[in-house]
Amino acid sequence: MVTTARRVKQMGAHHPGKMSCAAQEAGIVLDFGRQLTDANMSDFWPSELKVSKDRQMLSVTFNDGIVATLPAELLRVLSPSAEVQGHGPGQKVTVPGKRDVAIRAVAPTGNYAVRIAFDDGHDSGIFTWSYLRELGETGEAKFAEYERELTQKGLSRDHR
């Protein structure tokens, strides 16, 4: 499992007010070419979200040049949905069998998040910009903990 967060040189000019979603040969691309200015938002937001052609990776380019590359499996098993996180303390679910899960769709949710739909039917996770950033920075450690939980519970990443 590889997640990365790296800084890249910003390329191209921003186009104020532009927000488009297009299916391209390389996959789904959400282009947030405008600066989001909600006072309640975090200090960073995506300028682009791109799903790989095989739908196994989501790349998030943030306004400060950091790029987080997030595997679909990590996003699925660490979804912020109540189905995965539970409805209260101690209710988190360890989701097995998602090694080959793919991203089906990505849709903006207001100015603060995206809803990611997966090919296994899960589509209730709303991923805030700050949670995507957190996964980019700490996803490897979170995934390692997930793998430990699977082992402790006798579960597998493979679909059975």
What is the tens place of the pLDDT at every residue in 61-84? Answer: 999 999 999 999 999 999 999 888
**Partners of 128 in the β-ladder:** 113
Query: pTM for this one?
Result: 0.77
pLDDT digits 0-9 by tens, 90-111: 889 999 999 999 999 999 998 8
pLDDT above 50: residue 8:
no
Report the pLDDT value the prediction gives residue 44, as an integer from 0 to 100.
Answer: 81
Return phi, psi of residue 131, to 5°: -70, -40
CA distance 139 to 137: 6
**Partners of 125 in the β-ladder:** 116
pLDDT digits 0-9 by tens, 10-39: 333 333 333 333 333 345 555 554 444 443
pLDDT digits 0-9 by tens, 117-141: 999 999 999 999 999 999 999 999 9
Q: Residue 108 to residues 29, 73, 96, 142, 143: CA-CA distances in angstroms?
A: 11, 20, 27, 25, 25
CATH topology of domain 14-152: NE0471 N-terminal domain-like (3.30.2020)
Mean pLDDT of the chain: 81
CA distance 76 to 13: 33
